Homo-oligomer: A and B are copies of this chain.
Amino acid sequence: MSDLFQNKNFTPLSELGEFGLIEKIQSSVQIYNSETIKGIGDDAAVIEKNDTYYTLVSTDILIEGIHFDLIYTPLKHLGYKAVAVNLSDICAMNGFPKQILVSIAVSNRFTVEAIEELYKGILLACDKYKVDLVGGDTSTIHKGMVISVTAIGEVEKEKIVYRNGAKEKDLIVVTGDLGGAYMGLQILEREKAVFLENPKIQPDLEGNDYILERQLKPEARKDIIEEFRRLEIQPSSMIDISDGLASEILHICKQSNVGCEIYEEKIPIDPQTYDRARQFIIDPTTCAMNGGEDYELLFTLPLKDYDKIKNHPDFTVIGYITEPAKKCHLITKSGTVHPITAQGWKHF
């Protein structure tokens, strides 16, 4: 098979990109079971459960050196985050997570005590979100650590929300604030560089609590899904923000076949995120648009429901859906119009 490996006659994965690869796979998939309601292409797969509910399933793989750096990530935090980011995908379908399976592959550099720390974080997330760890697999690997998490949840059939339901004139809403996780990562990377140069210097993390927590211990917004039920809010489309606002709104608009206008001045950014971005000479809006890992929810809502969310501290209206021909644009604070392009994480 060696002729299929790196060779000038073949296509490097970087040329196709992650989304290109997924589209290629998706196009060759065939569905055999009528109980499979929705396969590849949303935050979670949707499977028939019973008269009232669908089952939701989502999976993520996390690789040391790609998705996390153990120099500054405590193993307990890593375990917590690995679970939270998966549960976030279930929430993004307007569902509630119920069970997880966790597989790990670790090199012999890890001790029993290290793996116990990782599982303390995993089980802390299970307790916080009331999900059950029901299975997994363990293996050795020559180098590094790999964590694969599968989350299972459920959603009332009439409440399921896909990426493709956004309609013209719908409001575009985000929860919480954006860009913090990215700025937290910049702080950690800076302190890592200092440490590698001189291991005797103590890391300077003061005054960065909020953004460090956004990076190291993100939460799945299960509380928002509960709030939707309480306020009788039914989003027309939804996605979680793992790759940055730009990438996610493009997913919604592409799959819903609509355009959008987003107002820079409306994008919620925490003061700490804003200050640190300025200090690092990074545009705070860029952090929010392309930073990723905030795990907030991005959803669209019919205009008639505006009263249900206005003045709610968790929700910010940042724009609205337009006809497809209008494409996707960011209206800057100075009033200029920029096309939105995805610059989220491209692993390949």
Contacts and interface: CB of A to CB of B under 8 A. Distances in A.
Interface string A274-287: 00000000000000
Interface residues of A: mostly helix, strand, loop or mixed? mixed
A40 to B, nearest CB: 6
Given A35-B98, A47-B99, A22 B138 contact: yes
A55 to B, nearest CB: 7
A108 B66 CA distance: 13
Given A4-B117, A21-B138, A111-B5, A131 B32 contact: yes
Interface centre among A74, A104, A106, A152 (most CB of B within 10 A): A152
Given A36-B134, A57-B134, A111-B6, A123 B74 contact: no
A18 B50 CA distance: 36
Interface stretch (A23-31, A231-239, A311-319): A23-31
Interface stretch (A7-15, A163-171, A205-213, A336-344): A7-15
A146 interface: yes
Contact of A139 (B14, B40, B101, B347): B347
A35 B55 CA distance: 12
B40 A70 contact: no
Interface in A110-137: 110-117, 119, 123, 126-127, 130-137
How often does this chain occur in the complex, in copies?
Answer: 2
A155 to B, nearest CB: 14
Nearest to A136: B59
Contact of A137 (B7, B59, B105): B59
Nearest to A10: B111
Interface in A233-264: none
Contact of A30 (B70, B103, B127): B127
A117 B5 CA distance: 11
A17 to B, nearest CB: 10
A105 B63 contact: yes
A333 interface: no
B119 A25 contact: yes
B61 A150 contact: no
Given A57-B99, A63-B142, 6 more contacts: A4-B110, A21-B138, A22-B138, A45-B135, A61-B105, A101-B150
Interface of A: 1, 4-7, 10-16, 18, 21-22, 24-25, 28-33, 35-36, 38-40, 44-45, 47, 49-51, 55, 57-63, 65-67, 70, 73-75, 98-99, 101, 103-106, 108-117, 119, 123, 126-127, 130-144, 146, 148, 150, 152, 347-348
- Identify the 9 closest CB pairs spanning chains A and B, nearest first: A50-B50, A45-B134, A10-B111, A148-B148, A4-B114, A11-B112, A61-B103, A39-B134, A32-B130
